[in-house]
Amino acid sequence: MSDHTPVIQIKGLHKAYGSLEVLKGVDVTAPRGHVISLIGSSGSGKSTLLRCCNLLEDSQQGEIEFKGEPVRWKGGGHARRPADPKQVLRIRTNLSMVFQQFNLWAHMTILQNVMEAPLTVLGRDRAEVEKAARGYLQKVGIGDKCDVYPAQLSGGQQQRAAIARALCMEPEALLFDEPTSALDPELEQEVVKVIKDLAVEGRTMIIVTHDMKLAHDVSDHVVFLHQGLIEEEGPPETLFGAPKSTRLRGFLSATHAA
């Protein structure tokens, strides 16, 4: 793979639940080191697109390429599935996802939560993984919380632990699905700071967010989805500063008013 090959490339993606079409032919490219933000109203298809990208959802049509390697499919339409489970596992372990709800294991300490996947999925050396996990918890600002359980942390701290867990997989890209929407405003800022720091480091990220300031500040490219189609996309300065589409203008004025 050359440095110019995108980490993730989605072409003409269609996804339906029964007769409800959620994605109607969407193209998204995430070049190495770029941050792509997906914005749009609830139900526009943002989270579904992210889940299809990570192969948590099956799409019916279109291509998904990871570092230039196309996902191999079998069957068609609603019967279409990835053809190679090993390929799916390899792609998933390289695309770490951070969910809206933190999805931490309640019976494990924060350190154990962060170490679990590299140990069980990647089979890495325990001492090596523990050192990395402690380093990532330090990086997100909760290095002193290694031995506590999720229930003892605030929502912002739990989400930062979830980000440390994603980083400990050493992924090629991070996928964030509304990472701050379950948080109170003051806790949201803790998580926003971590995401901004990751963007400065040049990590490849796709972020589904309702936070327009975050999208504006960290993105190289912003995609506005409306009813399963890309209504407008471009650099944040253009999209937020001089939106062309009436729908995007309406969406931005509604989010500012909220």
The full set of domains in the chain, from first to last, is 8-105+173-257 (3.40.50.300)
Instruction: Look at residue 1 and tell me whether its pLDDT is greater than 60.
Output: no
Instruction: Look at residue 101 and tell me whether its pLDDT is greater than 90.
Output: no
CA-CA distance, 141 to 154, in Å (whole number)? 13
**φ/ψ of residue 8, rounded to 5:** -130, 130
Model confidence at 255, in pLDDT bands (50, 70, 90)?
Answer: confident
Instruction: Look at residue 55 and tell me whether its pLDDT is greater than 70.
Output: yes
Instruction: Look at residue 185 and tell me whether its pLDDT is greater than 90.
Output: no
**222 contact partners, CB below 8 Å, separation of at least 6:** 36, 37, 39, 215, 216, 233, 234, 235, 236, 239, 240
CA 175 to chain centre: 2
pLDDT value of position 182: 81
Model confidence at 186, in pLDDT bands (50, 70, 90)?
Answer: confident
Model confidence at 256, in pLDDT bands (50, 70, 90)?
Answer: confident
Kindly tell me the burial class for residue 241, based on how many C-beta atoms sit within 10 Å of its own C-beta (0-12, 13-18, 19 or more): exposed
CA-CA distance, 189 to 176, in Å (whole number)? 15
For range 220-240, the mean pLDDT: 97
CA 178 to chain centre: 8
pLDDT value of position 2: 58
Mean pLDDT, the chain, integer = 94
